[in-house]
Structure 1
Amino acid sequence: MNVGFIGLGNVGGKLSGSLLRNGVGLSVHDLDADLVQGFVAKGASAGGSAAAMMRDCDVVITCLPSPAASDAVLQEMLPEVRDGKIWLEMSTTDEAEVRRLSAEVMARGGAAVECPVSGGCHRADTGNISIFAGCDRPTFERILPLLTLMGRRVLHTGEIGTASTLKVMTNYLATANLLTLSEAMVTMKAAGLDMATTYEAIKISSGTSFTHETESQLILSGSRDVNFTMDLVLKDIGLFQTIAERNNVPLELSPEVIRIMKDGQQRYGDRAQSDRIIERLEEATGLKVLADGFPSDLIDDEPEEQGYEVVVNRAAQ
């Protein structure tokens, strides 16, 4: 396959880097010309424009910061969509929006796949991130070889819209966990507990989580730079709240999670790193939650290996 990749930012640059590193013929495009030239220097081709990439490539992957950006890029590509072309959307977006855009692609004879990722930029950088894929099964099997180069664990979630729905759910859970970890660590600090010991106690207990084993380290080191900003968090948890409202689920915690993150954004800025949310409690108590020996950047030390499809266990059904 000739593959095009549009959107070379924090996540997209790492996902496309995995394709290039594994020998995929890659064309790239981004509004930032310097990012494009960086990839050209590594062996990629400059795609020129979104329309040109859809014309020249079998698969065009988009990884963009907002649903509006995805819409704008797809509208540029649509005139070049025809039988056999695949649009693969890796942005985090609303399931209703991805259904709408996918329908436009399929109306022109193309195929559409939504493939949001989960696991953090450090795992995207090594090809060890997890990928959700929403599409029909024949299309999934066509693009699975590409997905297993970008991610370690690939889950076919069902029809278009299911992957985006599950993705915003996971981001909601991670955000809620970040808030409870912030409360737990500040409370332990106030109670006189050693923070490094607190970290290990959580890690080996029923209270541990992916968020703890990654973001808590950045909180304790003081870097508080998880490469995911508060505006992106609010977009995702807002999408989750919309799904609940659309399905008449009267959530109680979700509105409070949104309120707290909005307060953090007002205090520290739209593009503040999400793990700075602990500073609200540090300021309220006059405490500082820090410990020696923790990294300022997350590094994925899991060896890169060929990815695989995660098979849903239906034995008990």
Structure 2
Amino acid sequence: MTKIAFVGAGNMGGAVARRLATGDHDVHVFDLDPSAVERCVRAGATAAASAEAAVKDAAVVITSLPLPDHVRSVWADLAPRLTDGAIAVDVSTIDPATADALTEPLDETGHAFVHCALGKTPAAAEEGAIPLFVGGPAKAVKALRPLLDRMGDKTYDFGTPAAAAMFKLVSNMIGMTNVAVLAEGYALARRAGIEPDMFSEALRDTGAFSFQSDVRLPWIVAEDYAPRFGAALAAKDVRLAVDSAARWGIPTPVASQGLAQLVSAVAHGYGSEDVVAVHKLVAPAAETEERP
């Protein structure tokens, strides 16, 4: 059985590691949080004492880390330790510059680098019901196909790691900005006396309905801010997208305003809560004023 190393088992990474472990893959997991590793072990993975121990003799090494800086630092340490022919895979949300920075040095040491950004939510990842946005050498992507088929239900090949990374940022830029305006719309509807069930049902029959309306509006209505995708991570992703756009001379005024709202949520102490916590920024006035 082929050994797979998985470094980083947070909300999304842990879900993917467990998905692979339940598919008869030999998955060795390391994370700084022992409880995250234990959840993977219960799904059939093997705990690794360190990242170095995880990657030893692994044919595929996968990282899932919070920030591009973490990704660069971890791969700088792991690259010299990879076994001959091992494929390097990152499923973190990173910027194109980071993807490019990883591609060349890994290639120089004989290791193909594939970026595989993940769509949707951790709950969907547990079921393998997520889209995968992949970029890397065709031969490596083909070799990874059995793993990709287990991880997700559809794979989009963008050719290069940088293109795959950028698409994920664009997706999150649009999606997280949508969450911010969805929260504002819901607050306005409540101020007008529209009941939550009516708002949700009627919105479904309009052009305003979206994936965020389907998945996150119920959480906003229930004031359920449990962290699935934290506001701080959402702010990070939109910042990376806006920053990349600025470097390329592409204006993003709407996304920039969405980023400001996400940063405000973090500044108010909601960074570790789900991104729907942006609702708290607009809900107090809307809920306490007398409705017509």
Q: TM-score, normalised by structure 2?
A: 0.93
Distance of 1:269 and 1:35 partners within structure 2: 22
Q: Which residue of 2 aligns with 1:88?
A: 89
Distance of 2:43 and 2:122 partners within structure 1: 20
1:54, 1:85 within 8 Å by CA — same for their partners in 2? no
- Note the C-alpha offset of 1:45: 2.1
- Note the C-alpha offset of 1:282: 1.3
1:130, 1:153 within 8 Å by CA — same for their partners in 2? yes
- Note the C-alpha offset of 1:171: 0.5
Distance of 2:225 and 2:26 partners within structure 1: 36
Task: Establish whether residue 209 from structure 1 lines up as the match of residue 192 from structure 2.
Answer: no
Q: TM-score, normalised by structure 1?
A: 0.86
Q: Which residue of 2 aligns with 1:128?
A: 129
- Note the C-alpha offset of 1:36: 2.5
Q: Percent of aligned positions with the same letter in both sequences?
A: 26
1:47-73 CA-to-partner distances (Å, cap 9, x unmatched) read 332233333100011111111221222
Distance of 1:38 and 1:135 partners within structure 2: 30
- Note the C-alpha offset of 1:138: 1.4
- Note the C-alpha offset of 1:226: 5.0
Task: Establish whether residue 47 from structure 1 lines up as the match of residue 43 from structure 2.
Answer: no
State the Cα RMSD in Å.
Answer: 1.7
1:167-215 CA-to-partner distances (Å, cap 9, x unmatched) read 0111111111112211211111122222101101111322211000000
1:212-236 CA-to-partner distances (Å, cap 9, x unmatched) read 0000011112213351111101110
- Note the C-alpha offset of 1:162: 0.7
User: Gapped runs of 5+ residues in structure 2?
Assistant: none
Kindly tell me: are residues 212 and 112 of structure 1, through their superposed partners in 2, closer, same or farther at Cα, counting changes over 3 Å? Answer: same
User: Gapped runs of 5+ residues in structure 1?
Assistant: 289-317
Distance of 1:191 and 1:43 partners within structure 2: 51
Distance of 1:264 and 1:160 partners within structure 2: 31
2:270, 2:277 within 8 Å by CA — same for their partners in 1? no
The aligned length equals 288
Kindly tell me: are residues 287 and 176 of structure 1, through their superposed partners in 2, closer, same or farther at Cα, counting changes over 3 Å? Answer: farther
- Note the C-alpha offset of 1:41: 4.3
Q: Where does 1:161-176 land on structure 2 (aligned, <5 Å)?
A: 161-176=162-177
2:227, 2:273 within 8 Å by CA — same for their partners in 1? no
SS at match of 2:215: helix
Q: Which residue of 1 aligns with 2:196?
A: 195
Q: Where does 1:17-32 land on structure 2 (aligned, <5 Å)?
A: 17-32=18-33
2:18, 2:44 within 8 Å by CA — same for their partners in 1? no
Identify the range of structure 1 (212-221 vs 266-275) with the bigger mean alpha-carbon deviation.
266-275
1:27-52 CA-to-partner distances (Å, cap 9, x unmatched) read 11111223334433443223332233
Q: Which residue of 2 aligns with 1:137?
A: 138
Distance of 1:2 and 1:96 partners within structure 2: 29
1:52-103 CA-to-partner distances (Å, cap 9, x unmatched) read 3333100011111111221222122121235411111000011111211121
1:58, 1:84 within 8 Å by CA — same for their partners in 2? yes
Distance of 2:42 and 2:212 partners within structure 1: 35
- Note the C-alpha offset of 1:18: 0.6
Q: Where does 1:27-106 land on structure 2 (aligned, <5 Å)?
A: 27-81=28-82, 83-106=84-107
Task: Establish whether residue 270 from structure 1 lines up as the match of residue 265 from structure 2.
Answer: no
1:88, 1:112 within 8 Å by CA — same for their partners in 2? yes
SS at match of 2:132: strand
**Amino acid of the structure 1 residue aligned with 2:102:** L
Q: Which residue of 2 aligns with 1:240?
A: 241
1:226, 1:275 within 8 Å by CA — same for their partners in 2? no
- Note the C-alpha offset of 1:163: 0.8
Kindly tell me: are residues 211 and 42 of structure 1, through their superposed partners in 2, closer, same or farther at Cα, counting changes over 3 Å? Answer: closer
1:90, 1:115 within 8 Å by CA — same for their partners in 2? yes
Q: Where does 1:284-295 land on structure 2 (aligned, <5 Å)?
A: 284-287=285-288
Kindly tell me: are residues 74 and 184 of structure 1, through their superposed partners in 2, closer, same or farther at Cα, counting changes over 3 Å? Answer: same
Q: Which residue of 1 aligns with 2:225?
A: 224
Distance of 1:214 and 1:196 partners within structure 2: 14
